[in-house]
Amino acid sequence: MRRGPSAGPGAVLGVVTALTYVFLYAPILVLVALSFNAGRLSGSWEGATLDWYWKAATNPAILASLRNSLLVGTAATLVATAAATAAALAFHRHRFGRQGLLEALLTIPTVAPEIVLAASLLLLFAALGLRLGFTTVILAHVAFTVSYAFVIVKARIAGFDHGLEEAATDLGAGPVRSFVMVTLPLIFPAVMAAALLVFALSIDDYVVTSFVAGVGSSTLPLQIYSMVKSGVSPEINAVSTMLLVATGLMLLAAFLIEQGRSLRTAALPAALGLGLLGAPFGLAGGPAPASRVLNLYIWSSYIAPETLAKFEARHGVKVNVDLYDSNEALLAKLSAGNAGYDVICPSDYSVEVLRLQDLLRLLDHSALPHLRNVDAAFLDRAYDPGNAHSVPYFWGTSGIAYSRKHVGEPPVSWGALFDPRYRGRILMLDDAREAIGAALKWRGHSQNTRDPRLLEAAREDLLRQKPLVRTYNSSNFEDILLSGDVWLAQAWNGQIAKAMEQDPDIGYVLPREGSTLFIDNLAIPVDARNVALAHAFIDFTLEAEIAAEICRTMKYSSPNRAAWPLLPAELRANSAVFPPADALGRLELIRDLGEATVVYDRLWTEIKSE
């Protein structure tokens, strides 16, 4: 290599590059470190452990999702890279009319926001009557990666010299031979880079996959995002670390071969890497026969594997679990039809939306004898009169979580979140209905109001509050509270209950003005195939011992009165899981507001945009 006259600039380039690698790998190092942290939350270091690796390796849901991600990523990479390379070559080899137009057609798909692509693909698959599953996920991943691959390969090909290929042809090489011997080596770096990037886009895709995945085709990002509601567990860090180690080993093997080392030297890292990547295929277990399968679509950390195993053993069936992270994802998928689930877990207002769209099956109460175990406070609510379509499973609240270290007296009113004394130490949920709801409640109004004057007042309160707010966050708020970055947080109780286990200095209160109650329910979609088994499952979760086990293992509030005496005393005493009885009377359900939903959305946009 010819050294330029400038060793100086060369050194600068080297330093910039080195710093860039540090920048790219800094969060990776954190992630690896956290995978060994004994504490469940990243807020503090609690000592080293290998527990999370063991937990990940024995969690069938995580393994299955990792396996699915690897399958989908590989398939999408092969198809997208091949199609994109072929298209780019067409531009290289030929001059034709409308070249600009064709190039634009192949590039434009990068323009569409992911969520729009996701919803449009769901519309397409519904129109075609395609069942959501692996095929739809792979097709969708191809759809959003082809253009990226095309742009990269095209950048390599632009302005290429045709001479070499022509020479090869002149020397009698056939088209295949001249492609393999001449063209491929020239474009190989671009094809490889494109493939790596497509795989990266595919294996990290959440938005598109959450719309088009069906029974048994959940990928790792779906697993990760659905875990957010219960706090992202370090198991994910452990899985990510293993994935990095495995790909690092494969990379090392490829590198050794490239350097001309013997295949035997490269065999060890290659075998180790492949072994790690192959492990989820062996450990996750294969699909069960469809006839005796219950397809459950539920929030993450809502039921323990051992509880499912009991049901499977009792009925001689297999329960297939897929996870979601928002009611809206559930609504979108059920509205499109063809989802294939037997039991779902919608929250209160979504039950109403689904019910009114005739998407839920009427429940046969004679098949649900244990429904009598449920406390009357959670039955016959307005979203589902007489519980004709749904049965309460868990319930929860939103309230104020606080750090006792920094906030002396427990806050009693929503006013604490609007108090200038806590400037820069306040967290609000990044959720239109909850944040506006807190402002409304503070002034003594219902969080379901449609009165424009009350909403205007709430807007002004929230705008005044904005300079006091450190961050709006509805995903890892408990971690931010735990780390000391904020002292007061509007919060949902489930994640706070888990944070309180790690740090006794965290408290949770339901303000005196009242706050939000939510009830998550089990229901059967109208197109469920295994209706009898679905009823059996719902009744199973209502049995006192089973409901107590679910509550004990998942630590959300159980509506099952018969289960309460069976719970450990410290769980009964946890104020985040079982708030004081007098507070319960002040809770209000969030209702679907129909047309007025748009008003809340605009109001929230105005506050965020100010």
Q: Which of residues 170-189 bind other proteins (CB under 8 A)?
A: 175, 186, 189
Give the shortest CB-349-to-other proteins separation in angstroms. Answer: 10
**Minimum CB separation from other proteins for residue 276, in Å?**
13
Ordered alpha helix ranges (H), 131-233: 134-157, 163-170, 175-178, 184-203, 207-212, 220-227
**Site for other proteins (CB under 8 A): which residue of 333, 361, 470, 555?**
470
Concatenated DSSP letters for 503-524?
Answer: -TTEEEE--TT-EEEEEEEEE-
Least distance in Å: CB of 36 to other proteins? 14
Which of 170, 306, 582, 595 binds other proteins (CB under 8 A)? It is 595
Tally of CB atoms within 10 A around 417: 25
Chain positions 298 to 327 lying near other proteins, rule: CB under 8 A, are 326
| φ/ψ (deg, to 5) at 96 | -140, 165
Q: Among residues 261 and 365, whose Cβ is nearest to other proteins?
A: 261
Q: Give the binding-site size for other proteins (rule: CB under 8 A).
A: 143
Question: Could you tell me which of 124, 86, 117, 81 has the C-alpha nearest to residue 102?
Answer: 86
Q: Which of residues 190-219 bind other proteins (CB under 8 A)?
A: 190, 192-194, 196-197, 199-200, 203-204, 206
Kindly state whether residue 159 participates in binding other proteins, applying the rule CB under 8 A.
yes
- What are 159's two structure tokens? 């302005």
Query: Considering only residues 539-578, where is the footprint of other proteins by CB under 8 A?
Result: none
Q: Which amino acid is at 217?
A: S
d(CA 262, CA 244) in angstroms, rounded, equals: 24
Cβ proximity to other proteins: between 113 and 408 the closer is 113
State both tokens at 3: 């050294």
- Contacting other proteins within 353-412 (CB under 8 A): 353, 356-357
Give the integer Cα–Cα distance in Å for 125 and 247. 33
**Structural contact between residues 524 and 343, judged by C-beta atoms closer than 8 angstroms:** yes
Residues 5-64 that bind other proteins (CB under 8 A): 5-6, 9-10, 12-14, 16-17, 20-21, 23-28, 30-31, 34, 42
Binding test (CB under 8 A) with other proteins, winner from 475, 583, 584, 591: 475
Give which of 127, 119, 116, 121 is closest to 140, Cα–Cα. Answer: 121
The verdict on 115 binding other proteins (CB under 8 A) reads yes
Question: Per CB under 8 A, which region of 105-113, 373-381, 437-445, 553-561 contacts other proteins?
Answer: 105-113
Q: Which of 329, 334, 462, 488 binds other proteins (CB under 8 A)?
A: 329
Which of 130, 274, 332, 526 touches other proteins (CB under 8 A)?
332
Task: Let me know how many helices (H) and strands (E) the chain has, helices first.
Answer: 25, 10
* CA nearest neighbour of 578 among 499, 514, 508, 521: 508
Interface pick for other proteins out of 485, 501, 503, 513 (rule CB under 8 A)? 485
Q: Tell me how far, at minimum, the Cβ of 115 lies from other proteins, in Å.
A: 5
CA 571 to each of CA 59, 133, 501, 577: distance values in angstroms, whole numbers, following the listed order: 25, 39, 10, 7
Q: Of the two residues 18 and 271, which places its CB atom closer to other proteins in the complex?
A: 18
List 22, 50, 123, 180, residue binding other proteins (CB under 8 A): 123
Of 144-152, 286-294, 540-548, 557-565, which part binds other proteins (CB under 8 A)? 144-152
User: Which span sits near other proteins by CB under 8 A: 379-387, 468-476, 523-531, 551-559?
Assistant: 468-476
Q: Does 72 bind other proteins (CB under 8 A)?
A: no
Q: Indicate the residue among 74 and 413 with the shorter CB distance to other proteins.
A: 74
Four-point Cα dihedral 109, 112, 118, 122, nearest 10: -70
What distance in Å separates the CA atoms of residue 341 and residue 361, rounded to the nearest whole number?
A: 12
In angstroms, give the least distance from the CB of 151 to other proteins. 5
Write down the least CB distance from residue 307 to other proteins, Å: 27
How far apart CA 195 and CA 185 sit, in angstroms, is 15
CB 175 to other proteins: min, Å: 8
Q: Which two tokens stand for residue 354?
A: 């689904």
Tell which one of 261, 372, 466, 572 touches other proteins (CB under 8 A).
466
Which residues contact residue 277 at a Cβ distance below 8 angstroms, ignoring those fewer than 6 apart? 70, 243, 246, 247, 250
Q: Would you call 374 helix, strand, or coil by DSSP? A: strand
What whole-number distance in Å separates Cα of residue 274 and Cα of residue 252?
12
- Considering only residues 249 to 308 of the shown chain, the ones binding other proteins according to CB under 8 A are 251, 254-255, 258-259
In a 3-state reduction of DSSP, which class is residue 531? helix
**Residue 532 to residue 292: CA distance in whole angstroms:** 11
**Identified binder of other proteins from the candidate list 49, 74, 107, 413, rule CB under 8 A:** 107
Q: Would you count residue 109 as binding other proteins (CB under 8 A)?
A: yes
Nearer to other proteins, 303 or 486 (CB): 486
User: Please, where are the H alpha helices in 231-298?
Assistant: 234-258, 263-283
Binding mask 428-447 for other proteins (x = CB under 8 A): --xxx---------------
Nearer to other proteins, 175 or 410 (CB): 175
Q: How far is the CB of 493 from other proteins (least distance, A)?
A: 21
608 contributes a contact to other proteins by CB under 8 A: yes
Pick the binder of other proteins from 57, 78, 130, 139 (CB under 8 A): 139
**What's at 233, amino acid-wise?**
S
Residue of 46, 380, 460, 601 that binds other proteins (CB under 8 A): 601
- Helical (H) or strand (E) element with 492: strand 488-492
Residue 607: how many other CB atoms lie within 10 Å: 22
CB of 56 to other proteins, least distance (A): 13
Asked whether 31 and 237 are in contact (CB, 8 A), the reply is yes
Minimum CB separation of residue 148 from other proteins in Å reads 6
> Using an 8 Å Cβ cutoff, are 43 and 506 in contact?
no
CB 319 within 8 A of CB 312: yes
Q: Which one of 225, 302, 422, 564 is in contact with other proteins (CB under 8 A)?
A: 225
